[in-house]
Chains A and B, each alone.
Chain A
Amino acid sequence: NAGVTQTPKFQVLKTGQSMTLQCAQDMNHEYMSWYRQDPGMGLRLIHYSVGAGITDQGEVPNGYNVSRSTTEDFPLRLLSAAPSQTSVYFCASGGRGNQPQHFGDGTRLSIL
């Protein structure tokens, strides 16, 4: 059971570089989302998608882009990395309504 797969697990970038964090799910979930986890702040929603071709902003969307061309994949793009984007990023997927979300193992990203 793959569930939600995130790659890479670790990445170090320099300020101004671009990068795409990959997320794939094999559970045919409509809903997918990206969170960032920072010390003392819990998880905060960056972007989410309710289905292929549909995305929307969460609580902290600035500096990030997403797209949803297929049900399975939901990549997160950093166009010009900044030190403030140093964080652990989690992708999640789930059914609609009150269904629990399934999380990937995270990507630890450091921006120098």
Chain B
Amino acid sequence: DAKTTQPNSMESNEEEPVHLPCNHSTISGTDYIHWYRQLPSQGPEYVIHGLTSNVNNRMASLAIAEDRKSSTLILHRATLRDAAVYYCILPYGGSQGNLIFGKGTKLSVKP
């Protein structure tokens, strides 16, 4: 199964954009790239997912490299509430719904 690589931690200033990178060089052609986040003391929360082209929603944007070996989650204006662990995830066992969470990137947001 394909794996992802993310930095352990990142820091951002409040109201500035944040770019969270993820490498997934062994991704298969049909795998969606999923992003979830986990705020302290809460269950994971869906952020965004995409296959090939860039995706936008109310929470974030997902920029996917043309070769699909990497992607970047973009938070356009970080708030203190965005401090969380962000997981870049590929599906497991050929089923798009089975998500294997890695260690993720712990994002700190400074006021």
User: Is B one of A's binding partners?
Assistant: no
